[in-house]
Amino acid sequence: MAKSGKSASSPKSGKPQAAAVPVRKSSDQPPTDWLERPATNPEQTPLLRKLFWGLAAASLILLVALSMGSGINADDKFQDDYSKKLVSYYSTFGQDSAALNVPDGNMHLYGGFFEIVTGFANKALGLEVTDLGYHNLRHGASAILGWVAILCAALLARLIAGWQAGIMALLILLLSPRFVGDSLMNPKDIPFAAGYMMALYNMAAVLNRMPTPGRWNLVGLVVGLGIALAVRAGGLLPFAYLGMFAGLHFLLKNGGFQAFSNAKLLGRYAVVTLGVAAAGYLFAILFWPYALQSPLKNPFIALSKFAELEVRIRVLFDGINLMSDKTPWNYPVKWMLYTIPLATLLGLVGAIAWLPRLARQYNPLWVSMVLFAGIFPVVYIIYKHSVIHDGWRHLTFAYPPLVVAAALFWNELARYFSAKKVAQYAVFGAMGALLLDSTAFIATNPKYPYTYFNPLVGGIKGAYGKFETDYWGVSVRQGLEWMEQQGILKPDMPETIVIATNMYHSAKQLTAKYGDKVKVKYMKWEKRCDDAWDYALYPTRFLDGATLQRGQWPPANAVHVVEASGVPLLAVLKDNGRNCTLGMASAKLGDWPTAISYLQKEVQNVPDNDLAWATLAQAYLNSDQLEEAKKAAEKALEISPDDVQANNLVGMYWLQKGDANRAKTQFETALDREPSNAAAYYYLALIARSQGDNQTALNNLRKAIETAPNFKAAYELSAQIYEATGNPSAAQQFRAALSQIK
């Protein structure tokens, strides 16, 4: 090749040739950067930056202040116990190993970050679980972690689209009642959301500056990954995200697969990604005794066990009471649709519809990441048919990324109209208007903002009786505070006051200061007449949706009702003569005349006591007062259509009247309302046997035994049928099983 500045001759012709242009080797070509976007910084003014941090600081103060008024949530029964065991484990350097196996709630399968930090803080301050300060400290810590999640979401929006987008994300999250409400007292879902969001933001920040990421972002990524896994095994998810998005960033930033030829750059990505993941994993297991026993095995065992160990409870969904493992696929979607502020919903729809534009304007990898991080978990639990309850609290961590996506839409819509100030201000005004409803709810219900429902379902009034409201039972605190204000509870009480509730843990801790002057009894709503009490505190949790929708609650003996925007959350009941308890006790003894006497007095004083009506129906039936029994049972069903006892009693009425067909229809209706009604299966078996259909009878008896394994009458009837049909060996098996039942 000729030297520069001289011509070359053809070896054949000898004619002068044009100077040759050096050809760059393909490896010297600058790699294509598919993530490069033009700068979009018209809003990057010092004023917006100051406004962002001012709002962030104010939101921290606000969240911590609100947390001081929150009640104790129902799951703290497990969390407080686990915290105590964890503090003992680390204080004794592992000699007290109770934290390694906690069957009550399977808490050992959860990381202990939140419980360890707050547990040692409470220990240092000398606070016990019976002190209000103990719970206030935990609530304050939860609020701080909720703020961390909000801040990291806002910073991610700022990283993608600037300070204006960051402010929008911050405002939407701060005015999201469900997220704010959980931030005040949720020690599981909020810490996990904080770690998740912290990991996402710092992941983007670290990869944005590759191959020389910022030191503090590396630290933030390690801590975010660590906190997420140190709260629950699902924290392995952001570790997977790190690998996926680091790989995508490496390819898209450096020309695709040709980037693999750059060994130095590939090595740098590998070192950063694997190093951060290892450090985050180490951080997590240091706060998780169960994981410490086998760091490379136990976290994955915990993850695999969650599906089978998930608590199955009765939930209210779309006006129907059902078990949480029987909820339809759209359970989380519908809950989110009805409880997320309209600004988030419209923004999210806009972000998805405008995704091509957002991907052109901003880094498409981070736009995709926020949508993926928010939508994928929802899609995955639907695909896996995961057992979830309490609305979408198990998906709390997925909400901040969805807000970031919504903020990107609102920000881009405002930029789209930047040349028309009136239209741009209309965009800001529209977003603000769509946040008014949620803002007003937080302002008027600061103790329990998580009970919010948006206008799509008619607010909390439209949702009442269709969806659960105070499923955590935090309003127990407000109920007890009312009793204190009325002088019912006070240090110098002359006599002991007995309080019944299905939210035992919170009531017990909040009344511990009264010593033996207050006795708290755990009693389910449907068992509230099984023992004597003076006052009772019951939230709407576990009540029949039909009862709530018909206005049959709170009952007539309620002396105070805690409300949210005019909707009852909790009733404080006062007993009147203990007639229901005495009547129920008499019925258990078979003293039907006495039972009738007491229960008649009860329904006169409390005409909407479904338990009293149902037991009165049973007493009438056993006293051969069939018509009175039917009237009492039907009265119970007017109040509580799903009442198992009342439904069965109506069926028994028709049996005694000799109308097997109507009895069969009634028992089938009873099973539709409550599939675990073993007695209904038994009576259907009796009807089938009387009609000569032994196979149907045996099928129903099998279902009765599956539902209630200790149902003696079902075993006995099965044995009788097998004996009558010439199968003595099968009959012997059932009698043998019967003999094993105590």
**Residue 620 is inside which H or E element, if any?**
helix 610-622
DSSP string of 355-410, one letter each residue: HHHHHHHS-HHHHHHHHHHHHHHHHHHHHHT----STTGGGGGGHHHHHHHHHHHH
Percentage of the chain lying above the pLDDT 90 cut: 80
Mean of pLDDT values over 649-678: 91
CB-based contact 175:439 (threshold 8 Å)? yes
Q: What is the pLDDT of residue 323?
A: 84
Which pLDDT does position 14 carry in this prediction?
Answer: 45
Report which of 697, 102, 168 is spatially closest to residue 414, judged by C-alpha positions. 168
User: What SS3 string covers 296-351?
Assistant: CCHHHHHHHHHHHHCCCCEEEECCEEEEHHHCCCCHHHHHHHHHCCHHHHHHHHHH
Q: Which residue has the higher pLDDT, 18 or 270?
A: 270
The pLDDT value recorded for residue 325 is: 82
393-425 pLDDT, tens digit per residue, is: 999 999 999 999 999 999 999 999 988 999 999
pLDDT at 38: 67
Are 615 and 584 in contact by the 8 Å Cβ rule? The answer is yes
pLDDT category at 16 given cuts 50, 70, 90 is very low
Please enumerate in sequence order all residues whose Cβ is within 8 A of that of 616, keeping only pairs 6 or more positions apart, or say none.
Answer: 583, 595, 596, 599, 600, 603, 632
184-193, 341-350, 545-554, 605-614: segment of lowest average pLDDT: 545-554
Query: What integer pLDDT is reported at residue 12 of this predicted model?
Result: 42
Q: Give the model's confidence band at 676: pLDDT under 50 very low, under 70 low, under 90 confident, else very high.
A: confident
User: 536-547, pLDDT tens digit by residue?
Assistant: 999 999 888 988
Percent with pLDDT over 70 in the chain: 94
Tokens 């592992």 sit on residue: 94
Classified as helix, coil or strand, 553 is coil
Average pLDDT of the residues in 286-310: 85
Pick the closest to residue 503 from 559, 570, 577 (CA basis).
570
pLDDT category of residue 11 using cuts at 50, 70 and 90: very low
User: How distant is the alpha carbon of residue 637 from its chain centre?
Assistant: 31
Nearest to 407 by CA among 374, 454, 446: 374
pLDDT at 585 over 90: yes
For helices 712-724 and 694-707, give the axis angle rounded to 10 degrees.
160
In terms of Cα–Cα distance, which of 711, 647, 645 is closest to 678? 711
Please determine, for residue 196, whether its predicted confidence score (pLDDT) is greater than 70: yes
Q: Which residue has tokens 């898209």?
A: 252
Band of pLDDT at residue 384, cut at 50, 70 and 90: confident
Average pLDDT estimate for 609-638: 94
The answer to whether the CB of 675 falls within 8 A of the CB of 706 is: no
Q: How far apart are the first and last CA of the chain?
A: 101
Confidence band for 259, pLDDT divided at 50, 70 and 90: confident
- Say whether pLDDT at 354 is over 90: yes
Average pLDDT value over all residues in the chain: 91
Q: Are the beta carbons of 671 and 677 closer than 8 angstroms?
A: yes
For β-strands 314-317 and 320-323, DSSP reports them as: antiparallel
Backbone angles phi, psi at 567, to 5 degrees: -105, 130
The C-alpha angle 309, 313, 316, rounded to 5 degrees, equals 140
How far is residue 371's CA from residue 420's CA, in Å, rounded to a whole number? 29
Q: Does residue 443 surpass a pLDDT of 60? A: yes
| pLDDT confidence bin for 103, thresholds 50/70/90 | confident
Enumerate the β-bridge partners of residue 573: 536, 558
**Distance from C-alpha of 6 to C-alpha of 20, rounded to nearest angstrom:** 10
Residue 408, classified by CB atoms within 10 Å of its CB into exposed (0-12), middle (13-18) or buried (19+), is buried
Structural element, H or E, at residue 161: helix 132-161
Q: What's the predicted TM-score (pTM) here?
A: 0.89
Give me the mean pLDDT over the 488-517 stretch: 94
Q: Which residue has the tokens 């099973």?
A: 671
For the chain, how many helices (H) and strands (E)? 32, 9
| CB-CB contact of 440 with 177 (8 Å) | no
Query: Hey, what are 49's tokens?
Result: 């930056």
Q: What is the pLDDT of residues 126-179, one digit of tens each?
A: 999 999 999 999 999 999 999 999 999 999 999 999 999 999 999 999 999 999
Does 689 have pLDDT greater than 90? yes
| Confidence check: pLDDT of 617 > 70 | yes
Domains contained in the chain, CATH given: 46-449 (no CATH), 476-574 (no CATH), 580-739 (1.25.40.10)
Helix, strand, coil percentages (3-state) for the chain, rounded to 5, are 65, 5, 30
